[in-house]
Structure 1
Amino acid sequence: MAQLRILLADDHPLVREGLAMAIRSRHPDIILDFADSIAAAEVLARTHQGYALMLLDYRLPDADGFSGLFRMQHALGHTPIAVVSAYDEPQIVTAARAIGAAGFLSKSQPFDALAQSIDELLHGRTVFPPVSEDVPGLSDLRDRLKSLTTAQMRVLTALVKGHLNKQIAGDLDLSEATVKAHMTAIFRKLGVSNRVQAVLAVGPLFDLQS
């Protein structure tokens, strides 16, 4: 039987070590891969197929809000991804669930509770703290975002940051014509007509943090 493999993305070495200890306390033989950025995690996703789980820090140097989750959903396919964060406000937790995260783990959880939550995730269950607040429209937006290709998601992320087509083309090593084609497809899939409407539609998902 192949060993289980988990991808752990967090830019703080002590947090990575704490999560690793929580995992190995119940699964000592599991293989752990570590990344300190979304770009590094994407490389690992291309290198290793069949991750059992990804634990993803909500805030990484190259990701804003849930943009990192969107990118890793495209990179990992059906691999469950749990968001790990010190920010556990109800709106963030609800948004994570609505856009397809498998769980939400607070960095303030006691060690034993964290280990239990990870064990639940490895058994195919979802793990979220109880919240009462709802974020209207996120389920529909999630479905629209899931229809975007990886390239379109990268363009959308740059668009939300306020980058112009020329800058997006340079950063992503694309032609401006290709960027424009991606923009047209993004607008169609999101049900909007222009850049401003696109940013207004998805901006909150990239900014949900205190």
Structure 2
Amino acid sequence: MKLFYIGIIRNNTKGEGLELAAVKDVSGFSFFERSSVTQFMSFFADTVASRTNPGQRQSVQEGTTYTGHVYARTEGIAGVVITDQEYPVRVAYSLLNKVLDEYLVKFQVTPAFLSAATKPNEPQYALESLDDYIKRYQDPQQADTMLKVQQELDETKIVLHKTIESVLDRGEKLDSLVEKSGALSQTSKLFYSQAKKTNSCCLIV
């Protein structure tokens, strides 16, 4: 079981996701893949978070390897974790609850903050505890033991999608989103194209 990514995404009034804070574990990928995989994690998180309604939880599976778990809060931010498909759903969402609560306590989320077109420059918007969380929650059994004192998550409220295409708006194509994305380098776009052709390991193929 593996936890690859924890991120906090701002969902502004335009429905655009913007990564505010994130931590990634790409140690399982080759050196030459890590840069592209890191970019695609952020792209994936921004895409699914911006298409998750406030108050909604949903999990998006890709292929037989990865699952993105998303929880959009009514305050205008969403949490995303990317795991393998063996990772327990309850632990993933308990982690999201904890991270989002901590973020909202630490930072003031105002209408101006949510409607801004760009990411805040202030370095304090990073959540230092994410580094600790991605290490501690690599072992979900240990994390689950710590979480048993908390209220059980009602998993029936989680919407499960088999592919990222199922959360896109009607008429939207993933290939087009990748091509238009300013967050992805040309190298990463080529990596995506090649991975798709060979059906090899890529987070959103």
Asked if these proteins are the same fold (TM beyond 0.5), I'd say: no
Q: Which has the larger radius of gyration?
A: 1
Greater helix proportion: 1
